[in-house]
Amino acid sequence: MKLRDTLSLSTRMFKTRKMRTFLTVLGVGVGIGTVLFLVSLGYGLQNVILSKITTADSLLSLDVSAGVSGAINLDSNTLDQISKVKNVVEVSPLVSLSSQISMEQLTGDGLVYAVKPSFFRLGGINAETGKVFEKEDSHEAVISSAAAKLFNLEKESVLGKEVSLTLFLPKINEEGLEETGVVKRNDKYKITGVIDDDSTSYVFVPANTLGDLGINSYNQLKIKVADTKYTDEIRNEIIDKGFLVSSLSDTIEQANKIFRIVQIVLSLFGLIALIVSAIGMFNTMTIALLERINEIGIMRSIGASKVDIMVLFLIESLLMGFLGGVGGIAVGYLAGELANFGINIMAKNFGGQALNLFYRPMWFIGFILIFSSVIGFLTGVYPARKAATINPLTALKYK
């Protein structure tokens, strides 16, 4: 039998049994669409979370802190040593101080982080509202959203206001024990940005504005390496010096593992719908076989081989699977866009930020189209084999 004739006969059911074929394809489309919807939600959540913490510089940065024992401190000498490590291109320190934060006759407890502007870039820290300071000696500050709530202020309304700080500095007494001293600060800092963090009240200020306090020890160093291929080498070298080293790539790796599990779980829910639709397709192909037994007998009697009959049914089921995949991609995409639109409207009404919660990698769309076609093909294997083995004489007598 010629391929053109086979294709013509394979598509005949789409014309003679339009409603049944449409419902079968729709069932497959719903199953595929459910898989696409749930998996794209998993990818979207992964992208939203990781995009907030990753930048080109943050992926090249390492966090260095003192060892657990505290026997080795991070000081200016340490900073110089690490700066001289091969393939380290930048070092940015952080000093953390306990403080009282005052604003508009209200005072609350919090932390002050004295940093260089480069610390934000290396740490992938961005202001949700406003912007981070860019000058090392400017009297500007960036606060957390928790600090804004401490003064009963919204993120937008706190911009441009001034804060004053009372710092608590550690010092060593004559017995060599650490004590806490109080340093009154009359300097005021203008708030330029708010970081989305409701867990801790803190204020970032330029380190140079506290230079007169004689601070010589740091709580953390952020270092930038020349290339990711040097990350492990530099990490091991700094660890050998007795310091603790972590990186954003470690966090991303752990997050990706969690999201892979989430995507698998979501896919399993979608596969349930796909299995149900595959059963429906199998039922359709079986009914088509029963309806066409007499036709199969006629085809066999005029020279069609068993292979021709099998190919006829396989192409038919393959086409239904393929069309179901195309429809499923359309259904999943449309459902995702509608859900994202509705969620963003709700977020805006509650003062939230609009986000794209659905992400569909092109490779996954291609995979799901091939997968649906394979499901259709496999669903048609049994009816195709059954049709090919029917005795032509018996088939001609069948009514």
- pLDDT tens for residues 190-244? 999 999 888 889 999 998 888 767 777 888 899 888 887 888 888 888 888 888 8
Classify burial at 172, counting beta carbons within 10 Å of its beta carbon; exposed 0-12, middle 13-18, buried 19 or more: exposed
Least confident of 65-74, 211-220, 251-260, 338-347: 65-74
d(CA 206, CA 169): 17
Q: What is the mean pLDDT of residues 262-266?
A: 83
d(CA 218, CA 93): 6
* Confidence band for 50, pLDDT divided at 50, 70 and 90: confident
pLDDT at 176: 44
Q: What is the mean pLDDT of residues 79-104?
A: 88
Q: What is the mean pLDDT of residues 352-370?
A: 85
Q: What is the mean pLDDT of residues 129-158?
A: 89
Euclidean distance between the first and the last CA atom of the chain, given in angstroms as a whole number: 25
d(CA 380, CA 195): 57
Helix 248-291 with 362-379: angle, nearest 10 deg: 30
Residue whose token pair is 């990711």 = 228
The helix (H) or strand (E) run that includes residue 206 is strand 202-206
* Confidence band for 188, pLDDT divided at 50, 70 and 90: confident
Least confident of 155-159, 274-278, 388-392: 388-392
pLDDT at 179 exceeding the cut of 60: no
Q: What is the mean pLDDT of residues 264-285?
A: 83
Tell me the pLDDT tens digit for each residue of 287-342.
877 777 777 777 777 777 788 778 888 888 888 889 999 999 999 999 999 998 88
Q: What is the mean pLDDT of residues 75-91?
A: 86
Least confident of 66-70, 324-328, 353-357: 66-70
pLDDT at 12 exceeding the cut of 70: no
Cβ atoms 296, 387 nearer than 8 A? yes
Q: Would you call 114 helix, strand, or coil by DSSP?
A: strand
pLDDT at 269: 81
pLDDT at 177 exceeding the cut of 60: no
* Number of Cβ within a 10 Å radius of residue 345: 11
d(CA 118, CA 134): 8
Domain boundary assignment for the chain: 3-53+254-397, 73-241
pLDDT at 174 exceeding the cut of 50: no
Cβ atoms 151, 203 nearer than 8 A? no
Classify burial at 194, counting beta carbons within 10 Å of its beta carbon; exposed 0-12, middle 13-18, buried 19 or more: buried
| Token reading at 180 | 């806490």
Q: What is the mean pLDDT of residues 389-395?
A: 73
Q: How far is CA 26 from CA 12, 22, 216, in A?
A: 18, 6, 69
| Token reading at 289 | 């076989």
Mean pLDDT score across all residues of the chain:
82
Nearest CA among 117, 44, 56, 15 for reference residue 333: 44
Cβ atoms 205, 120 nearer than 8 A? no
pLDDT at 6 exceeding the cut of 90: no
